Amino acid sequence: MSGYEIVRVGGQIGAAVTGIDLSSPMAPAVFDDVQRALLEYKVLVFRGQDITDEQQLAFAGQFGPLTQRHPTMRSVGDPQVLAVDGEDQRANHWHTDISFTPTPSMGTTLRSVVLPPYGGNTLVANGAAGYRSLPAELREVADKLWAVHTNQADQPRLGTERGEEVRRAFMATRFEAAHPVVRVHPVSGEPSLFLGGFAQRLIGLSAVESRPILDLLQSYVRRPEHVLRWTWSLGDVLIFDNRNTQHYAVNDYDDHKRVLHRVSITGDLPVDLTGKTSYAVQEDDR
Ligand SMILES: [Fe+2]
């Protein structure tokens, strides 16, 4: 394939890709470019696609083995395809996908299926830019911190029966994992702030003591300069690197329908600056 373009859309995060047809596998040279771009820009949006669930599975599968099934979310047909449906839940909180498990996804692909007439943007924040922007004194503190991520975190409520059902299912099984606050990217070696809303407590501190520190560090990740705000068009297929980003689904589309299909790629154990790896939190560690 030739004639494709990968164009940066923001100074710190995001690029748009045109001229690549995802209905068939990318040729190795094209895929190399795409992988390099994903490392650099953290989020890529492929415009003008007309693909099926099967083709989305194949696209995501080029990046690595797929997440077999989400620990708590419902799938559509194939267990690897999740419905991101505004009637089930609205992820209007900053998070890194399944960071409450020891091996959060490497990346997530999202395909627009039904879009609201307005709103419903997806925000993605660059955790590596967040880390780079820390003052040196604060960076030294962050470098040593570890956080416990849990799916028992307080999340926005929809206030509908269906929303409550989905919320209960999401929290029915308790998941907790400890991750370094500063994660080293396994491919680029770039350090990033690895937090998000599932991070509820810092190891060695109480939840109350942890909160202002978590909020302070998060404020560096969520700076507008570090955030891509994507306005969806039909035909958009988005992929983000879940190893150094957080995302947020803006809940401003009232009662309109919004459905994306999500396929995630299996991730590895996060590593801190000294090489120590993440772990599942057992009863005794709480
Ligand atoms: Fe998510």
Distance CA 77, CA 113 (A): 15
Active-site residue, from 247, 258, 261, 272: 247
127: Cβ contacts below 8 Å, ≥ 6 apart:
183, 192, 193, 194, 195, 221, 244, 245, 246
Q: Supply the pLDDT for residue 253.
A: 97
Average pLDDT of 10-32?
Answer: 97
pLDDT at 286 > cutoff 60: no
According to DSSP, the β-strands at 15-18 and 5-8 are antiparallel
- Measured in angstroms, how far is the CA atom of residue 137 from the centroid of ligand 1? 31
Q: Supply the pLDDT for residue 167.
A: 86
According to DSSP, the β-strands at 107-114 and 259-265 are antiparallel
pLDDT at 33 > cutoff 50: yes
pLDDT at 239 > cutoff 60: yes
pLDDT at 242 > cutoff 90: yes
CA dihedral sign of residues 180, 227, 65, 86: positive
Q: Supply the pLDDT for residue 1.
A: 47
Task: State the total domains in the chain.
Answer: 1
Active-site residue, from 179, 185, 222, 262: 262
Active-site residue, from 95, 111, 179, 185: 95
Distance CA 52, CA 23 (A): 8
The answer to whether 241 is a known catalytic residue is no
Tokens matching residue 59: 């696209």
**pLDDT, mean over the chain:** 94
The answer to whether 262 is a known catalytic residue is yes
Of 5, 26, 27, give the one whose Cα is nearest residue 16: 5
Tokens matching residue 120: 């419903």
- Between vectors from CA 75 to CA 160 and to CA 243, what angle results, nearest 5°? 100
Question: Helix or strand or coil: residue 271?
Answer: strand
- Measured in angstroms, how far is the CA atom of residue 29 from the centroid of ligand 1? 29
- Measured in angstroms, how far is the CA atom of residue 96 from the centroid of ligand 1? 6
The answer to whether 97 is a known catalytic residue is yes
Distance CA 280, CA 278 (A): 7
Site of tokens 């091996």: 103
- Measured in angstroms, how far is the CA atom of residue 84 from the centroid of ligand 1? 9
| Tens digits of residue pLDDT in 47-94 | 999 999 999 999 999 999 998 877 677 677 788 999 999 998 888 999
Please give the residue range of the domain that contains residue 240.
Answer: 5-285
The answer to whether 70 is a known catalytic residue is no
Q: In what order do the strands lie in the sheet with 122-126?
A: 227-230, 122-126, 245-249
Q: For residue 278, what is the domain's CATH number? A: 3.60.130.10
Q: Are 96 and 196 in contact (CB under 8 A)?
A: yes
